[in-house]
Copies of this chain bind each other. A is one copy, B any other.
Amino acid sequence: MKGPIDAKRRRFLASAAVGAAAAAAAFPAPAIAQEKREWKMVTSWPKGLPGVGTGAERIAQRITDMSGGRLTVKVYAAGEIVPALECFSAVAEGKAEMGHDASYYHIGKHRQAPFFTTVPFGLTANELSAWIHFGGGQELWDELYAGFGLKPFLAGNTGTQMLGWYRKELKTADDYKGLKVRMAGLGAEVVKRLGATVVTVPAGEIFQALQNGTVDAAEWVGPYNDQALGLNQVAEYYYGPGFQEPSAGLELIVNKKLYDELPKDLQMIVAVAAQAAHDDLWAEYALRNGEALANLITKGTKVARVPNELMIAMGSASGEVLAEERDKADAIGKKIFESFLKARGPASAYTRIGEQAMANARALAYKYIE
């Protein structure tokens, strides 16, 4: 609201017959220019991608609206300014002031960066938020990213993802032996231990890779996004849950120097817009994933739960991978492990007697209204 009010005042001053020179002196141009910021938000998402992509657009719009246009944010899809996985460097170097992506894309910068997105058999979305905001996660994330000139915020979540699309039925851990799988992050290390061969396939090429047999199985996100890629047309089985992403936190990264220079009100606007997005995006996925799942089932997809025996094998393999990662971790990496596990214990214990038990109870055979 700053702009219009200033304009109105200037007109008022003029009409009040204040000398033109005095009016010019009262509103020196640079002072006004400083108050209007136009920022670029680069993202790792294809243009208009539902969920993560449109969610990033909502964050930008809310910052723009809450600041009354004093901080205008324009969103750029992957490839428009920088490629999908280069937001981190682009924001650090100031090519863009902010970015929306996921910390696990930055494993090349630091091995424990993925913790702020997801860890195999780790935290649900709500528990991730609990660790970040109330369990010391934010402080460690700040410390880690400050080394790269960035200020990070948790700014979205897809919720629990699916294990993915399979051309054959999964029964035991042995079914992974020799399987060619598209899977990213630490989950890829886990399925390798079960005997799979991991194949790197960009999102836009998953359909073709499944179709021509380059891979036997592939994971991307969940029903809402996977349906958009048409993956149901090239694989019959759709397994959940995805041990590799119990939830997937998204991040808003801001160039730290520019963030530190913002007035306090704009700093708070950015921080609160990010936190609201954690609720906002996840809520969108919760409903749209459910609707897409129903649609996929109608079209013939066989939706199935991963058998317990296989889940246990995945859990122990995840434990092995994480133990080795911890042994190799540097000082801050070890602190991240410690802090994460300290939150995982109590948070998952309450989930078990609370939400998890309630969701299980809700699935029992009672008579409800329809």
Contacts and interface: CB of A to CB of B under 8 A. Distances in A.
A18 to B, nearest CB: 5
A358 interface: yes
A284 B315 contact: no
Contact of A286 (B130, B313, B314): B130
A26 interface: yes
Interface string A28-70: 0000000000000000000000000000000000100111100
A229 interface: no
Given A68-B263, A222-B354, A291-B346, A276 B282 contact: no
Interface in A260-288: 263-265, 268-269, 272-273, 275-276, 278-280, 282-284, 286-288
Interface string A171-203: 000000000000000000000000000000000
A130 B287 contact: yes
A368 B318 contact: yes
Contacts of A294: 345-346, 349
Tally of this chain's copies: 2
A208 B271 CA distance: 43
A231 to B, nearest CB: 16
A131 B322 CA distance: 37
A117 to B, nearest CB: 15
A289 B126 CA distance: 13
A354 B162 contact: yes
Nearest to A319: B368
Contacts of A303: 353
A13 interface: yes
A20 interface: no
Contacts of A16: 22, 25-26
Given A134-B284, A134-B287, A315-B364, A268 B346 contact: no
A66 B355 contact: no
A241 to B, nearest CB: 4
A263 to B, nearest CB: 5
A9 interface: yes
Given A126-B286, A356-B359, 17 more contacts: A124-B359, A126-B126, A127-B286, A127-B287, A130-B287, A132-B283, A134-B284, A134-B288, A287-B343, A289-B350, A290-B350, A293-B346, A303-B353, A306-B361, A312-B365, A315-B361, A319-B369
Interface of A: 1, 9, 12-13, 16-18, 22, 25-26, 62, 65-68, 121, 124-127, 129-135, 159-162, 222-223, 240-243, 246-247, 263-265, 268-269, 272-273, 275-276, 278-280, 282-284, 286-291, 293-294, 303, 305-306, 308, 311-316, 318-320, 322-323, 326, 337, 341, 343, 345-370
